[in-house]
Each structure stands twice: as C-alpha cells, then as structure tokens.
C-alpha cells in the first residue's frame, strides 16, 4: 500500500458528493472510488439523489520556486 504524508492510501481518489433534493438540507459526503467507477447517483446512507461535486482536490503539487503566500496568483 502506497501512503501519503498522513498515512492515507494515495492510489484511490476521494470524491465529494452532495445530495440534490431541494426539499431537504444539502448533505455533503466523501467516497473513495476508483477513477474507473461510475459516479454515485444516490447517497449510500440515506438513498437520496446525489451528484459528484467538482473540486480542485487536496494534493496540489506546484513545482519550482515560490515566493510569499501568493503562489499561483497573477500580479
């Protein structure tokens, strides 16, 4: 098993989902899935309709030298 700095398995990404029923509060949840798996259509806990949320991810690697807190910004 290949693990990252916190001992987390880095081979399988974690996807963020949210429920989509407008009559209920939105619930966010995370699921570890292979990149080859189909996105979930329902919350595994409640059965409510759900969708995958597009996010930037947590393991962003910026190569090269950086100066100050504005790494990646323009200006």
Please say if the pLDDT value at position 6 is more than 70. Answer: no
Q: Are residues 3 and 19 in contact, defined by beta-carbon separation less than 8 angstroms?
A: no
Q: Is residue 75 part of a domain?
A: no
Q: Is residue 38 part of a domain?
A: yes
**Where in the sequence is the domain holding 24, given as residue range(s)?**
14-53
Domain count for the chain: 1
β-sheet bridge partners, residue 30? 16
**Chain-centre distance for alpha carbon 37:** 14
- pLDDT tens-digit series, residues 18-72: 999 999 999 999 999 998 999 999 999 999 999 999 876 566 556 666 555 555 5
Contacts of 31 (CB under 8 A, 6+ apart): 14, 15, 17, 40, 44
pLDDT-derived band at 13 (thresholds 50, 70, 90) equals: confident
pTM of the complete model: 0.60
Tell me phi and psi for residue 57, to 5 degrees: 90, 175
In this prediction, residue 52 carries a pLDDT of 94
Q: Are residues 12 and 24 in contact, defined by beta-carbon separation less than 8 angstroms?
A: no
Q: Is residue 35 part of a domain?
A: yes
Q: Is residue 68 part of a domain?
A: no
Q: Is residue 69 part of a domain?
A: no
């Amino acid at each position: 098993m290949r693990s990252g700095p916190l001992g987390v398995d880095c081979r399988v990404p974690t996807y963020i989902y949210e429920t989509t029923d407008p009559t209920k509060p939105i619930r966010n949840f995370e699921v570890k899935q292979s990149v080859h798996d189909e996105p979930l259509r329902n919350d595994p806990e409640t059965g409510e309709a759900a969708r995958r949320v597009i996010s930037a991810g947590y393991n962003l690697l910026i190569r090269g030298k950086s100066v100050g807190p504005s790494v990646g910004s323009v200006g």
